[in-house]
Amino acid sequence: MDFRTLAIAAEATSRQATDALLLVIVGDRLPASLDAPLQQAVKDAVALGDFAYKPAQVAYLRQVAGVKAARVTVVAAKDGSAKAVRAAALAGIGQIKGLGVKQVAVLIAGVDAVSAAHAEAVASAAAESVYTYRTTKPSAPAASALAKLTLLVAKADQKAADAGLAVGAAIADGVDLARELANRPGNHCTPTLLASEARKMSRAQGLKVEVLDRKQIEALGMGSFLAVAQGSDEAPRFIVMHYHGAAKNVAPLVLVGKGITFDSGGISLKPGEGMDEMKFDMGGAASVVGTMRAVAALKPKLNLIGVIAACENMPSGRALKPGDVVTSMSGQTIEVLNTDAEGRLILCDALTYVERFKPAAVVDIATLTGACVVALGAVHSGLFSPDDSLAAELLTAGHNALDTAWRMPTDDEYDEGLKSNFADMANIAGRAGGAVTAAMFLKRFTGKLRWAHLDIAATAWKSGAAKGATGRPVGLLTHWVLSQAA
């Protein structure tokens, strides 16, 4: 979608030529700044019982007297926060996208100023609303005709709104890409396809990309990653994308994504119900590709490297077995007590690999544990880091992106359960604190790094009727990367 701002006096809104006008009303009364024909139309809608000042309540008005736009959609926002405006815009665009509307003008009425955060929220809500998965569904509804969104702002707010729209548009493209990759089924989105899509994106955005095959991964000594991959007939891939926005000697930020393109559990096979959703187990990898794309579009002055370990986790005659001991790239050995705790087995080698970049900071992103789903639900991603300043940066980024995380502990006591009689560590501890012990496993491979881990098991996709990838946490990651350029 194309996003732009237009500076306009509030009294001129009714005279604006547009296919549809989306009027976001902040608060529970008519803003005095709204021009007369629109004031009247909203008053009438309230009197008729068609509209109420309730969060995300939508009314659709046609051919309003004195208003040039043939369609006016009115939606209420609970307050002037970016979060409330986003929810309102999502509801409003949701109504408009099904009409034959090519272009929509959006007015946020009832705020003192339209901020960058408001503009970003509108852009990301619009993109989220119009996304439709169709790659393997020819019968999917036709793409929405809606291709252009114009945010109407006061002259004084235009600069901030333009900046917010630029960030919002870049994140929207990254989120779309992450959703698209994660939504594709496991027989389409294999490690090979993930690598070719990462390459395609990288070429298009001018990024350097390397893709390592099984032989090259073997040569690096990634025994833990390869142990997971060995049960599958699909070839593993190790993907490295480079964004250069600063001098070569500037220490890069590094993102590491879990790219399990299907997680059957392996020999520790998962129950059948809901197993299809384990095609989303590359959501971390998808968010890395999406973030690289967003950052490449915004061109901050820093260096960023995106790394993905991609393979399938399958049972077979060659598969890893419970009790097997594998040697990680770090030299530490791991007793695999449960082959379904495979994410940490591929990530540990990726974390060792990235030491070579002498990074300023490393963030891994993984659909790592069902325990994190239980702990936090789908509201916040789980954030784990022994580094308080890095944790604070990521929490702030999540807040600003409306893509939030919640900090979880990393106390040494949680490491106890990983002890093994047959290797340097086991790959699982007990049931208690499962999301934390998974993070503690990764921590054993990050001694040389300023590191954080995001467990996105509950936030990367939705189940039920709205089953599908969310594109999270591309927003959080992009905001964090941008914050490091200052």
Q: Indicate whether 263 belongs to the interface with Zn ion (CB under 5 A).
A: yes
Question: CB 187 → Mn ion: shortest distance, Å?
Answer: 19
Question: CB 281 → ligand BES: shortest distance, Å?
Answer: 5
Which residues 312-331 are close enough to bind ligand BES by CB under 6 A?
A: none
Amino acid letter for position 381: S
Specify the residue for token string 């809608």: 45
Q: Indicate whether 35 belongs to the interface with ligand BES (CB under 6 A).
A: no
In the DSSP assignment, the letter for residue 262 is: E
**How would DSSP label each residue in 395-452?**
HHHHHHHT--EEEE---GGGGGGG--SSSSEES---STTHHHHHHHHHHTT-TTS-EE
Q: Which residues of 89-119 are buried (b: 16+ CB within 10 A; e: fewer)?
A: bbbbbbbbbebebebbbbbbbbbeebbbbbb
Q: Indicate whether 434 belongs to the interface with ligand BES (CB under 6 A).
A: yes
As a whole number of angstroms, the distance between CA 402 and CA 70 comes to 32
Q: Indicate whether 455 belongs to the interface with ligand BES (CB under 6 A).
A: no
Binding segment toward ligand BES, per CB under 6 A, in 54-62, 224-232, 238-246, 337-345: 337-345
Question: CB 226 → ligand BES: shortest distance, Å?
Answer: 17
Nearest CB to Zn ion, comparing residues 20 and 460? 460
Which of 344, 443, 444, 472 is flagged as catalytic?
344
Q: Which does 369 bind (CB under 5 to 8 A by kind): ligand BES, Mn ion, Zn ion, none?
A: ligand BES
Nearest CB to ligand BES, comparing residues 279 and 479? 279
Nearest CB to ligand BES, comparing residues 165 and 375? 375
Q: Indicate whether 428 belongs to the interface with ligand BES (CB under 6 A).
A: yes
Q: Indicate whether 371 belongs to the interface with ligand BES (CB under 6 A).
A: yes
Token reading at 321: 């077995």
Q: Where are the alpha helices (DSSP H) in 318-401?
A: 343-353, 370-376, 388-401
Q: Indicate whether 295 belongs to the interface with ligand BES (CB under 6 A).
A: no
Of residues 340, 246, 335, 339, the one with CA closest to residue 295:
246
Amino acid letter for position 301: K
Q: Which does 371 bind (CB under 5 to 8 A by kind): Zn ion, ligand BES, Mn ion, none?
A: ligand BES
Nearest CB to ligand BES, comparing residues 343 and 475? 343
Question: CB 265 → Zn ion: shortest distance, Å?
Answer: 8
**How would DSSP label each residue in 38-72?**
HHHHHHHHHHTTS--SSTT-EEEEES-TT-SSSEE
As a whole number of angstroms, the distance between CA 75 and CA 26 comes to 9
Specify the residue for token string 């709204």: 34
Which residues 249-268 are close enough to bind ligand BES by CB under 6 A?
A: 263
Specify the residue for token string 């955005």: 205
Task: By CB under 6 A, name the one of 39, 57, 338, 396 that touches ligand BES.
Answer: 338
Question: CB 313 → Zn ion: shortest distance, Å?
Answer: 6
443 is catalytic: no
Binding segment toward Zn ion, per CB under 5 A, in 76-84, 150-158, 180-188, 261-269: 261-269
In the DSSP assignment, the letter for residue 20 is: E
Task: By CB under 6 A, name the one of 35, 340, 349, 403 that touches ligand BES.
Answer: 340
54 is catalytic: no
Question: CB 237 → ligand BES: shortest distance, Å?
Answer: 18
Q: How far is CA 105 from CA 52, 71, 157, in A?
A: 22, 10, 16
Task: By CB under 6 A, name the one of 144, 369, 404, 459 that touches ligand BES.
Answer: 369
Task: By CB under 6 A, name the one of 129, 287, 303, 367 that touches ligand BES.
Answer: 367
Contact 428, 338 (CB under 8 A): yes
Q: Indicate whether 415 belongs to the interface with ligand BES (CB under 6 A).
A: no
Binding segment toward ligand BES, per CB under 6 A, in 155-163, 293-301, 322-330, 336-344: 336-344
Q: How far is CA 196 from CA 210, 220, 282, in A?
A: 11, 21, 15
Contacts of 348 (CB under 8 A, 6+ apart): 224, 328, 329, 330, 334, 441, 442, 444, 445
Question: Binding string, 328-367, against Zn ion, x = CB under 5 A?
Answer: ---------------x------------------------
SS3 253: strand
Contact 94, 129 (CB under 8 A): yes
Question: CB 340 → ligand BES: shortest distance, Å?
Answer: 4
Question: CB 322 → ligand BES: shortest distance, Å?
Answer: 10
Burial of 478 (0-12, 13-18, 19+ CB in 10 A): buried
Q: Which does 428 bind (CB under 5 to 8 A by kind): Mn ion, ligand BES, Zn ion, none?
A: ligand BES
Which of 270, 407, 450, 462 is flagged as catalytic?
270
Q: Which residues bind Zn ion (CB under 5 A)?
A: 260, 263, 281, 343
Residues with a catalytic annotation lie at 270, 344
Q: Which residues bind ligand BES (CB under 6 A)?
A: 263, 281, 338, 340-343, 367-371, 373, 428, 434, 457
